[in-house]
């Protein structure tokens, strides 16, 4: 795999009042403040921010936390962009993000989301984790945490429930879940969770199946191991399941595409100044006939892989139109305290030049489905989208 022209110009403004004062002194000493009107206007804006901070610090009816005010000011600046992918991390938030991206963290060991009925539903239980040991199952709906009712009625109520479930390793949390019509009590001791991002199986007709849950952690090594194993077992075709995959690392999806596409452009990004970064795969690749499964929750890196397969006619895309996230984020950290920020730095384009932001990838074979796999294993009998993907592979074999 080769990556060329991968230079993206990034300019980041760090809001620190001491630095502002230092900049003012430098401009005055150099005599440039009169000529550099833009910088002068920027400094005036920061002076207003400092004036507001000082008034609140001295005159608010309760004592205020200056650090909290500064964090709020930074977050307000980023929120003004009205971009849900641009935001600030406190040191604690960035550390938690890094742990989960690497696939090893402290927690309960399941993946949840709010469902259409307003419940918090378990989508995946990580094998060998605390929740698995306590008997949690895919499809369980969480109704109380430590006796307090929780709800999946909105993103806010879901976040509230997540906060209740967080805690230090070794501590326990009591969950009440609905399983079918039965209420079940689960007592889960928080602990270390190791997340495998790839699962695989051999389906009928010697069709290999690889599900990628997210592009991060062990996804590249897991995919390569799964593909090698399926090929050694005599797989004649391959289904890659990207349904509900929210995306992840650009370099990871390019590395996985490198095993599938042959010599080509996988994706390219373009920044505001027009600079372009191309990501390539080389000639050495798997030659198995291919189908890729997507749905409305397949986003970002998932769409990069699906769109490349579609543009190059390397396989058949099956399922429902994807989410439509065609922009790239850059994550930086501030060494002085471990905080960080993420911001949208570029758009990405498919090999044919499509930008799918707000549009998504439309499958070659559209199959709508409300089916949810509660078993955690590929279910050929009940999963109509999976059966259609297998049929697409067979058609390519024929």
Check if 104-194 and 198-397 are the same fold.
no
Q: What is the predicted pLDDT for the residue at 61?
A: 96
Q: What is the pLDDT of residues 44-64, one digit of tens each?
A: 888 888 999 999 999 999 999
Residues 57, 64: Cα–Cα separation, whole Å:
6
Burial of 122 (0-12, 13-18, 19+ CB in 10 A): buried
Q: C-alpha angle 107/138/211, rounded to 5°?
A: 90
Q: Say if residue 229's pLDDT is above 90.
A: yes
Which has more pLDDT, 394 or 180?
Answer: 394
Q: What is the pLDDT of residues 112-124, one digit of tens each?
A: 877 778 899 887 8
Q: Say if residue 228's pLDDT is above 50.
A: yes
DSSP string, 339-353: -EEEEEEEEEE-TTS
- Residue written as token pair 């610090």: 57
Q: Say if residue 230's pLDDT is above 60.
A: yes
Which has more pLDDT, 139 or 60?
Answer: 60
Which has more pLDDT, 15 or 262?
Answer: 262
Span 129-146, average pLDDT: 93
Structure letter (DSSP) for residue 59: H
The percentage of residues in the chain with a pLDDT greater than 90, rounded to a whole number, is 65
Q: Has 300 been annotated as catalytic?
A: yes
Residues 125, 108: Cα–Cα separation, whole Å:
9
Structure tokens at 91: 């040191």
Structure tokens at 278: 């191309």
Span 80-100, average pLDDT: 85
Q: What is the pLDDT of residues 289-306, one digit of tens each?
A: 999 999 998 999 999 999
Local confidence band at 105 (pLDDT 50, 70, 90 cut-offs): low
In the set 219, 241, 311, 383, the catalytic residue is 311
Sketch the domain layout of the chain as residue ranges: 17-80, 104-194, 198-397
Span 191-210, average pLDDT: 92
* Residue of 194, 172, 178 lying closest to 118 (CA atoms): 178
Structure tokens at 325: 């996230």
In sequence order, which residues have a C-beta less than 8 Å from that of residue 247 and are 6 or more positions away? 214, 215, 253, 299, 300, 301, 302, 303, 325
- Helix 301-311, helix 250-258: angle, nearest 10: 30
Local confidence band at 192 (pLDDT 50, 70, 90 cut-offs): confident
Q: Which helix (H) or strand (E) holds 111?
A: strand 110-114
Average pLDDT over the chain reads 87
- The end-to-end CA distance of the chain, in Å, is 30
Span 233-250, average pLDDT: 94
Q: How many CA atoms within 13 Å lie on the side-chain side of 261?
A: 28
Q: What is the pLDDT of residues 259-278, one digit of tens each?
A: 999 999 999 999 999 999 99
In the set 140, 219, 325, 388, the catalytic residue is 325
As assigned by CATH, the class of the 198-397 domain is alpha beta
Q: What is the predicted pLDDT for the residue at 155?
A: 66
> Which residues on adjacent β-strands are paired with residue 241?
211, 293
Q: Say if residue 130's pLDDT is above 90.
A: yes
Helix, strand, or coil here: 390? helix
Q: What is the predicted pLDDT for the residue at 180?
A: 87
Residues 252, 261: Cα–Cα separation, whole Å:
14
Q: What is the predicted pLDDT for the residue at 98?
A: 79
CA distances in angstroms from 258 to 60, 96, 279, 350, listed in the order given = 58, 30, 10, 15
Q: Has 325 been annotated as catalytic?
A: yes
The percentage of residues in the chain with a pLDDT greater than 70, rounded to a whole number, is 88
In the set 200, 281, 298, 300, the catalytic residue is 300
Structure letter (DSSP) for residue 327: E
In sequence order, which residues have a C-beta less than 8 Å from that of residue 221 and are 6 or more positions away? none
* Residue of 156, 90, 69 lying closest to 342 (CA atoms): 90
Residues 375, 379: Cα–Cα separation, whole Å:
8
> Which residues on adjacent β-strands are paired with residue 331?
342
Q: What is the pLDDT of residues 324-362, one digit of tens each?
A: 999 999 999 999 899 999 999 999 999 999 999 999 999
Q: Has 137 been annotated as catalytic?
A: no
Q: What is the predicted pLDDT for the residue at 103?
A: 64
Q: What is the predicted pLDDT for the residue at 26?
A: 32
Structure letter (DSSP) for residue 363: P
Q: Say if residue 258's pLDDT is above 60.
A: yes
Q: What is the predicted pLDDT for the residue at 374?
A: 65
Q: Say if residue 208's pLDDT is above 80.
A: yes
- CATH, domain range 104-194: 2.30.42.10
């Amino acid at each position: 795999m080769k990556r060329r022209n991968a230079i993206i110009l990034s300019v980041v403004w760090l809001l620190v009042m001491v630095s502002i004062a230092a900049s003012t002194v430098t401009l005055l000493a150099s005599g440039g403040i009169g000529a550099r009107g833009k910088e002068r206007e920027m400094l005036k804006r920061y002076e207003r921010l400092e004036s507001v901070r000082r008034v609140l610090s001295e005159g608010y009816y309760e004592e205020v936390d200056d650090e909290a005010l500064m964090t709020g000011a930074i977050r307000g600046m980023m929120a003004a962009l009205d971009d849900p992918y641009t935001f600030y991390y406190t040191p604690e938030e960035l550390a938690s993000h890094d742990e989960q991206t690497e696939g090893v963290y402290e927690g309960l060991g399941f993946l949840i989301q709010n469902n259409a009925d307003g419940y918090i539903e378990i989508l995946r239980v990580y094998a060998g984790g605390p929740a698995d040991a306590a008997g949690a199952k895919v499809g369980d709906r969480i109704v109380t945490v430590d006796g307090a009712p929780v709800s999946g009625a909105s993103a806010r109520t879901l976040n509230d429930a997540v906060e209740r479930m967080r805690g230090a390793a070794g501590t326990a949390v009591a969950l009440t879940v609905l399983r079918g019509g039965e209420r079940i009590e689960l007592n889960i001791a928080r602990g270390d969770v190791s997340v495998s991002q790839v699962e695989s199986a051999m389906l009928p007709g010697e069709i290999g199946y690889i599900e990628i849950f997210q592009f991060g952690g062990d996804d590249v090594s897991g995919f390569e191991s799964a593909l090698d194993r399926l090929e050694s077992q005599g797989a004649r075709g391959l289904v890659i399941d990207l349904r509900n995959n929210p995306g992840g690392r650009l370099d990871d999806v390019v590395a996985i595409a490198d095993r599938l596409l042959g010599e080509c452009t996988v994706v390219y990004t373009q920044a505001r100044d027009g600079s372009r970064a191309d990501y390539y795969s080389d000639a050495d690749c798997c030659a198995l006939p291919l189908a890729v499964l997507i749905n409305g929750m397949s986003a970002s890196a998932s769409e990069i892989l699906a769109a490349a397969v579609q543009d190059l006619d390397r396989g058949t895309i099956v399922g429902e139109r994807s989410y439509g996230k065609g922009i790239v984020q850059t994550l930086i950290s501030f060494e002085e305290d471990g905080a960080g920020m993420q911001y949208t730095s570029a758009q990405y384009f498919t090999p044919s030049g499509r930008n799918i932001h707000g549009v998504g990838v439309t499958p070659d074979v559209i199959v709508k489905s409300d089916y949810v796999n509660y078993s955690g294993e590929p279910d050929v009998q009940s999963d109509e989208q999976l059966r259609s993907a297998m049929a697409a592979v067979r058609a390519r074999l024929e």
